[in-house]
Amino acid sequence: MPSPFELIMLNIFLHCLCGLPVPPGKTTDLQFQQEIIRTVSHSADSVSLIPDNGSCFAGDLEPLEYIEAYADHAPLAEDWNLIMSRNPMIIHYAHAPARAVQTI
């Protein structure tokens, strides 16, 4: 049986696959609240998921510690500023290990 997060991500994936917009903002599906935010520095259809449990699922977004390497890449800094304004405690990446925010 898929986890609540897997169901949410499947829903987002199906929206993207079908060309439907994924509405940013808060939703209250699956017994917890999460926020879907657009993080377009990776691609125009990229989103990050921030559940109310202190996690952030950043997907393909470049890891936060790489931001200095992209000093001239304003969209990446804007995406991370938006994510960090939600005060996540742990960041889950698609292609890197999860990291506690204190160690980033």
- ∠ CA 76-11-94, nearest 5°, is 40
Looking at per-residue pLDDT, the higher value among 54 and 32 belongs to: 54
Q: What is the DSSP string of 36-90?
A: EEE-TTT-TT-EEEEETTSEEEEETSPPGGGGGGGTT-HHHHHHHHHHHTT--SE
In the numeric block, which tokens belong to residue 72?
Answer: 């001239």
| Global pTM value | 0.68
Structural domains of the chain sorted by starting position, each given as residue range(s) with its CATH number in brackets? 23-103 (3.60.15.10)
pLDDT, tens digit (0-9, with 9 covering 90-100), for 49-101: 888 888 898 888 888 888 888 767 888 889 999 999 999 999 988 888 888 98
The values of phi and psi at residue 38, to 5°, are -75, 130
